[in-house]
Amino acid sequence: MVAGPDLEMLMLRYQQGGAEAASELVTRLSPGLHRFFLMQFVSRRYADDLLQETWLRIHEVRHTHRPGEPVLPWVYAIARHIRVDHFRRVQRVELREKQVEDLPEIAAAPQRPGTGPSLEEMLAGLPESQREVIAMLKVAGMSLEEVARATSSSVGSVKQKAHRAYEKLRERLTQAGFGRATRGESA
């Protein structure tokens, strides 16, 4: 047992600035504090961190210990608060991470009157391979050859995907009231 008047004297000397008293308190109390953290289902790494954090806090608030009062309850109260603070911090991080995973879809920008559907809306219904080709050709400005290399396809395959995508996009625009009803007619 590490309790007794001995600890109270060490604490008093520590409060008065005795470095050797501080060192002796750390040496005598750390094994028990470490076990305290480990018994709370805390990993060894966290137990080490919590122990260090406890000693930092003890150092900051050492002036609050009342001479003549037992040291162990005061030290363990601080350790308990450190553990609870750590638990709350971990819970907040987990909650925040969970919330980030469940973020709602970003709201679409309001459409101005007289404008057609957005590019994202138009491309959303296309198969992935066609969206990819259109994005590379029209958004990134790549050549047919560059898109073919990027997709490990032939130039003919890229042309076919682009043609099919253009046809579907033309249909959607016509259905939305934009563009021509047929190729030969004017709108």
Q: What is the pLDDT of residues 71-123, one digit of tens each?
A: 888 899 899 889 888 888 877 877 776 555 555 555 445 555 556 666 667 77
CA–CA dist 135, 87 (Å, integer): 47
DSSP state, residue 127: -
Compute the C-alpha angle 141/111/134, nearest 5°: 20
pLDDT at position 112 is 57
Please name the residue that has the structure tokens 């391979």.
129
CA-CA-CA-CA dihedral for 155, 174, 127, 105, to nearest 10: 130
**CATH architecture label of 119-175:** Orthogonal Bundle (1.10)
CATH classification for the domain delimited by 5-101, as one of 3.40.630.30, 3.30.200.20, 1.10.1740.10, 3.90.1310.10: 1.10.1740.10
Spatial separation of the C-alpha atoms in residues 152 and 141, rounded to whole Å: 18
For residue 27, give the amino acid letter: T
- Cα gap 53→136, rounded to integer Å: 53
pLDDT at 119: 67
d(CA 4, CA 76) in angstroms, rounded, equals 15
Mean local confidence (pLDDT), 4-8: 77
Task: Enumerate the CATH 1.10.1740.10 domain ranges in the chain, comma separated.
Answer: 5-101
Residues of the chain within CATH 1.10.10.10 domain(s) are 119-175
1, pLDDT greater than 70: no
Two structure tokens written together for 46: 């966290």
Nearest of 12, 53, 13 to residue 33 by alpha carbon:
53
